[in-house]
Every structure is written in structure tokens, then in C-alpha cells.
Amino acid sequence: MPLLAILIAPAAQAVDIGEAVAGGKTSLGFRYRLETVSQDGIDKDALASTARARLTWNSAESNSVSFGIETDYTLILGIEDFNSTTNGKTAYPVVADPDGFDLNQAFVKFKEDDFTVTVGRQRINHGSQRFIGGVAYRQNEQTYDGLRLQTNVGAVDLDYAFIHNINRIFGPGDGAQPGDWYGASHAFRASFAAWPGHTIAGYAYLWDLENDNGPGNSNATYGVEYQGVFNQLTVTAMLSNQSDHGDNPLSYDVNHYLFQGDLKLGGITVTAAYEVFGSEVGTTDDPEKFAATRFGGLMVNLGSDRHLASLRFPAATLHKFQGWTDKFLIAPATGLHNAWVSVSGKVGEATVTGVYHDFQSDVTALDAVTGRPFLDDYGSEIGLSVTYPLRDNLGLLFKIARYSADDYATDTTKAWLMFDWRW
């Protein structure tokens, strides 16, 4: 920190606040969404009519320094037949859009050539947001309190953040889930343009979360990612290892890998992918602490000190990867194999996307005959989305998804109608 102070202090002393404020820019946004959920096992269907009003202001830059603020207000417009996780309406399925005012961003930024320092509440999106992102599909976006450093050395882009709070989508207050996760966490990504069209990245995410169910989601993940472009085909491969970290009462060690291909055929893009969340038997030396920590569906108890555990992504944007019905936001203790294919293209001015997922476990139980672990079919999901630009600053989205359960969770159908206006 002293080195940062030496670098930033001279510029900060010469900042013309009046000039920075006078040259600032304001933007407004309003997003309305009608969401429905029909879920087997819950008698009542959810119907949520919500809107988000957003005000964003960014100053002009003065002597390499700028600052910004962004506020969100989520409100219920008439229909509140849903469980927002804070309103107590547990007879309905969950639609995780609590109402209330939230400070989305409040930061100071120093930028000099290829070196950027951002301090305060801010967005942090790494790569495809597989490990850290903003979950921007929900009305209350996920942002981060901390210090972020970005620079490049030749062909290598470096991005490091120290994070002491995750401002979660379940806020601004606490409900069934905490609105904030406090702690001392680190997020690092280094990306190298190996040769034209081919990028190799390494990453490390050390989540040390302290409050409520944070300890059970504390983990250390290290991995590499490759992305290469071969004419119309883009190939992505990821390999990661994750283990317990911080005050996590469970000891475990699992792997994650992803293979994905995106093929452009004229105006159509076809994507096929296969992703695995590993699972293994972990141990705990503190059964009492383990029992008191809310893990959701992450663990299966095999005794007083042995538990089946799988991979978890506490800060990722999960909706875009693990199915639109959100049945796998928390990976089952038995792991997850997710094979999916999607087709996307233009129909007139509309963009139409269809997607199919097949979900299986990584390991469940022992086969009674062979004694070996076997895979179970969790279920499958099919989805369709249509986006249409009504005007330059106004967009329409319709989306529907259906999860058909085999051996995990229950049949669920979700549908959305959304208008997004920006000025």
C-alpha cells in the first residue's frame, strides 16, 4: 500500500475537483421485468412484477484521477406473489429480486498509461465471469468493495483485486441469504496473447468469507484457460483445482474442467460444451462447527467427520452457464456433469437463441453389483430466448426455460418478459 500511495498521491493533490465534476456524465436506466415460476412441490406459482431504476454518474478525469457513483432502486410494481428471499412469502417459489435502495458503485480511479487503480465499490468481471462477475441478470447487481490493480507487461494483462466485501444480489438487507459476504479475499487473472487469435490465461481465486454461510463457501481455486480462434470455430478449454480455504470447516479437493466450441455458420452460431464439477469425500475436524454452517445442497453427510463435497462458485455469474431455471446455482454434493448445446441467430431484427442442457452427477452411490460409483441422471433443461430492439435505447426480451427432473430437484418452468431502457 505505501507504494500505491507514492504513485497516486502527487496526482491526487493536483486534482481539480470542480473541473472533474463539471465534466461529469450522468446516465439513467430503467428495467421492468415480469417473471413467472411454476415448480412441482410448491402449490402456488410465482408471479413477480419488478422494476429497477438506475442512476449512474462518472466524473471527468483530472490529472489521471476520476470518480463515480451508481445507485439502484428495485421496486415491486403491483404483483408480489413470489419469495424474494427477504419478504417472507415462502409459500411461493423464489424470484431473487428483493426491493430496496442499494449503492451499486462508489469508487475513485487512478489511471496512468497502462496502470489503473480502482478503490471502493466497483464492478469486477473476469473473462466470461465463470469465477467472478456481476450476476447482472438479477435486478440488484453484484458488486465488490476493495482495491483493484490492472496493468500489462508486454503481451500479458494483469488483474488483481483485494476484496473485503461482496455486495450480493440478495441485498441490500439480509434474508434467507446474507446481503453481503465480508472477509479478506483475493482475485487474480493473468492473460497472455500467445499468438494472434490465441490467448492463455491463469487465475487464482482465494475466497476467505467470514459471516453467516460464508465460511462454507470459502475456497481456493487455481486454474488455466485457453481460447483459440480457428477460422469460424472458437475453442475454449478450462482446467481448475479447488480446495478448502480460510475458515471452511470442511477439508476437500476437487477438479473442474470445461471444453467448449463455438461455430459460426453464416448468421448462425452453434455452441457445444461439456463441463464437469468434481466431487469427493472430504473430512472435517470440527463437526460441531460444520453442523452449524449453512451449506445448502453442497454436502452429503457420511458420518460425524466425513462428507461428500463438490465444486462451488461463490462469486460467479451462474445463470448464463448452469441453466436458466437456476436449479444448479448450488452444485449438488455429488458433483455435476453439464453437457449443453445452443443455436443462436437473427430472425429479422430479433436475435433468437435455443439451448438444451443434460445434467448428470459426477458420482453418487456405489453400484450394488460392481461396487463402483455410477452416474445418475439429474435431469435436462430446454430454453428459448428472443431479444428485439424496439429503439436504439429500448430493448425487449422474452425468455422461457423448462427443467425436467429425473433424479434431482423437481420439474420447473420459468418465463420472463423484460423491457430495458437506457438514456
For the chain, give the percent of residues with pLDDT over 90: 78
Report the amino acid identity of residue 104. Answer: N
The confidence score (pLDDT) of residue 362 equals 87
Host domain of residue 297: 2-422
Q: Which of 23-37, 122-136, 207-221, 275-289 has the lowest mean pLDDT?
A: 275-289
Is the pLDDT assigned to residue 221 strictly greater than 80? yes
Q: How many domains does the chain have?
A: 1
The confidence score (pLDDT) of residue 299 equals 45
Order of strands, edge to edge, in the sheet holding 279-283?
279-283, 306-310, 299-301
Q: To 5 degrees, how large is the angle CA 138–CA 241–CA 243?
A: 85
Note the pLDDT tens digit of each residue in 164-196. Answer: 999 999 999 999 999 999 999 999 999 999 899
Q: Does an H or E element contain 135, and which?
A: none
Q: Which of 130-134, 192-196, 240-244, 322-326 has the lowest mean pLDDT?
A: 192-196
Q: How confident is the model at residue 375 (pLDDT cuts 50, 70, 90)?
A: low
Q: How confident is the model at residue 382 (pLDDT cuts 50, 70, 90)?
A: very high
pTM: 0.89
Mean predicted confidence (pLDDT) in 92-114: 96
Cβ neighbors of 174 (< 8 A, separation 6 or more) are 86, 180, 212
Look at the block and give the residue holding cell 455435476. Answer: 336
Mean predicted confidence (pLDDT) in 86-93: 96
Q: Are 98 and 76 in contact (CB under 8 A)?
A: no
Mean predicted confidence (pLDDT) in 83-92: 96
CATH number at residue 267: 2.40.160.10
The CA-to-CA distance between both ends of the chain, in Å, stands at 38
The confidence score (pLDDT) of residue 363 equals 77
User: CA-to-CA distance for 341 and 358, rounded, in angstroms?
Assistant: 9
Burial label, 113 (beta-carbon count in 10 A; 0-12, 13-18, 19+): exposed
Give the start-end residues of each E strand in 298-349.
299-301, 306-310, 336-347
Note the pLDDT tens digit of each residue in 197-212. Answer: 999 999 999 999 999 9
Mean residue pLDDT across the chain: 90
Handedness of CA 135, 140, 146, 151 (dihedral sign): positive
User: CA-to-CA distance for 138 and 52, rounded, in angstroms?
Assistant: 10
